[in-house]
């Protein structure tokens, strides 16, 4: 079909031809004929339908905010004639990425890559992929869609944070089926039997149903939980970028605890976001759940959420500079450690007794302050 430039060229050529014929001047008519010939040639250029085999991949499918992700496009010319003038257009959320494909020889194959936008957290729909074939003058083009849309998961960005000492005697071996203290071992999941497992842990009903010996995986219920409460009310965040930094901070704290195989609980005023019990897949679950967190009016304030949190373990509140430190401090007796992370506060504040206050303006600042807090906590034990 004709592009806007092609339609304009055809219209102007028709007007020039009519004016030249009416006024008796051959020059405008010659220009008009040249323009019409160019438009007709452009249509004939794009009229053949090339036989193309197209495959698009996204690598990787999950990235942290701001980390690189690329589309990898493989285009094969299955026809007997060469193909040129191809441009790939791939939608990525609200943006569109365009990349030129070099000339394809008969039976030839080309691979091109292009960057996908990862500056915003969330599920980014990628596609549909469109291949546009245009003439050299861009007067006409043919558009075809290939494949189906895919989803790029842009998760929160994280920095390594160590697990803070709890300050009380807990069983620090991590989840295990053999070393859980008596009275604290609880059922978590089923897994296949391996040599060395105790026969008393075999789940006979599941084994009979599956035809494979299955054993109960037990966890130590006394492991201290890291509870992360994230302020998500819109009125608390004047700048959306501050909220994105708060989500990154919450993800970093949760990832640090999950990496040590400790239980993690994440909440906002709208309710629970994720809860894990300490396992190898916890980190993926936490980051995936935090990907979908957005600012929203919740039925409860952050302080109300803190008051209802189950006691024990560490409490980490991620809030703006206007956090009510006094009301948060009122629950300090229910937790081993209470930490408030304030994102880019406008002014300094003193931490109430029993509360550790960390102000930060970026993730690097958070990591530095967190490590300092961990060393101080270790010396105070």
- Would you mind telling me the total number of residues written for the chain in this entry? 381
- Rg over CA atoms, the chain: 31
pLDDT of residue 379: 59
Residues 287 and 376 in one domain: yes
Among 106, 137, 155, where does a domain finish? 155
pLDDT in tens, 9-56: 999 999 988 988 888 888 888 888 999 999 999 888 888 888 999 999
Burial of 192 (0-12, 13-18, 19+ CB in 10 A): exposed
Residues 22 and 88 in one domain: no
pLDDT of residue 178: 40
pLDDT of residue 157: 96
3-class DSSP assignment, residue 151: strand
Residues 245 and 374 in one domain: yes
pLDDT of residue 183: 44
Average pLDDT (176-193) is 56
- pTM of the predicted structure, to 2 decimals: 0.75
pLDDT in tens, 329-379: 988 888 889 999 999 998 888 889 989 999 999 999 999 999 888 776 655
- CB 317 within 8 Å of CB 341: yes
3-class DSSP assignment, residue 43: helix
Number of domains making up the chain: 4
Rounded distance between C-alpha atoms, residue 232 and residue 137, angstroms: 52
Q: What is the DSSP letter of 311?
A: S
Domain region containing 19: 4-39
Residue 87 within any structural domain of the chain: yes
93-107, 207-221, 228-242, 291-305, range with the lowest pLDDT:
207-221
pLDDT in tens, 100-152: 999 999 999 999 999 999 999 999 999 899 999 988 888 998 899 988 899 99
| CATH code for the domain of 93 | 2.60.40.10
Is the predicted pLDDT of residue 57 greater than 50, yes or no? yes
- Backbone torsions φ then ψ of 256, nearest 5 degrees: -65, -40
Residues 12 and 95 in one domain: no
79-92 in b/e burial notation, b at 16+ Cβ within 10 A?
eeeebebbebebbb
């Amino acid at each position: 079909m004709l592009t806007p430039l092609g339609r304009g060229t055809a219209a102007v050529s028709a007007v020039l031809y009519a004016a030249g014929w009416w006024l008796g001047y051959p020059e405008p008519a010659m220009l008009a004929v040249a323009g019409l010939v160019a438009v007709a040639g452009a249509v004939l250029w794009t009229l053949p339908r090339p036989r193309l085999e197209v495959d698009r991949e996204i690598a990787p499918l999950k990235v942290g905010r701001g980390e690189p992700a690329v589309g990898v496009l493989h285009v094969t010319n299955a026809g007997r004639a060469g193909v040129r003038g191809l441009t790939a257009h791939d939608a990525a959320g609200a943006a569109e990425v365009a990349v030129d494909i070099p000339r394809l020889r008969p039976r030839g194959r080309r691979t091109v890559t292009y960057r996908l936008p990862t500056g915003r957290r969330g599920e980014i729909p990628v596609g549909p992929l469109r291949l546009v074939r245009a003439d050299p003058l861009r007067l006409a083009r043919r558009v075809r869609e290939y494949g189906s849309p895919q989803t790029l998961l842009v998760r929160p960005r994280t920095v390594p944070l160590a697990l803070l000492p709890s300050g009380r005697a807990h069983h620090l071996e991590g989840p295990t089926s053999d070393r859980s203290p008596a009275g604290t071992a609880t059922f978590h999941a089923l897994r296949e039997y391996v040599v060395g497992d105790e026969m008393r842990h075999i789940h006979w009903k599941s084994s009979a149903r599956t035809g494979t010996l299955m054993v109960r995986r037990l966890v130590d219920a006394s492991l201290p939980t890291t509870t992360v409460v994230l302020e998500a009310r819109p009125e608390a965040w004047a700048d959306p970028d501050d909220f994105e930094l708060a989500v990154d901070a919450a993800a970093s704290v949760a990832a640090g605890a999950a990496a040590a195989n400790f239980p993690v609980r994440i909440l906002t005023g709208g309710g629970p976001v994720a809860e894990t019990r300490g396992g190898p897949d916890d980190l993926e679950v936490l980051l995936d759940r935090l990907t979908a967190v957005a600012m929203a009016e919740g039925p409860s304030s952050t302080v109300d959420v803190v008051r209802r949190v189950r006691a024990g373990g560490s409490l980490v509140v991620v809030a703006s500079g206007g956090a009510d430190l006094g009301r948060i401090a009122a629950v300090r007796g229910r937790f081993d450690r209470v930490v408030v992370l304030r994102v880019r506060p406008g002014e300094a504040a003193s931490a109430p007794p029993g509360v550790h206050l960390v102000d930060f303006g970026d993730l690097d600042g958070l990591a530095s302050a967190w490590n300092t807090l961990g060393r101080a906590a270790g010396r105070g034990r």
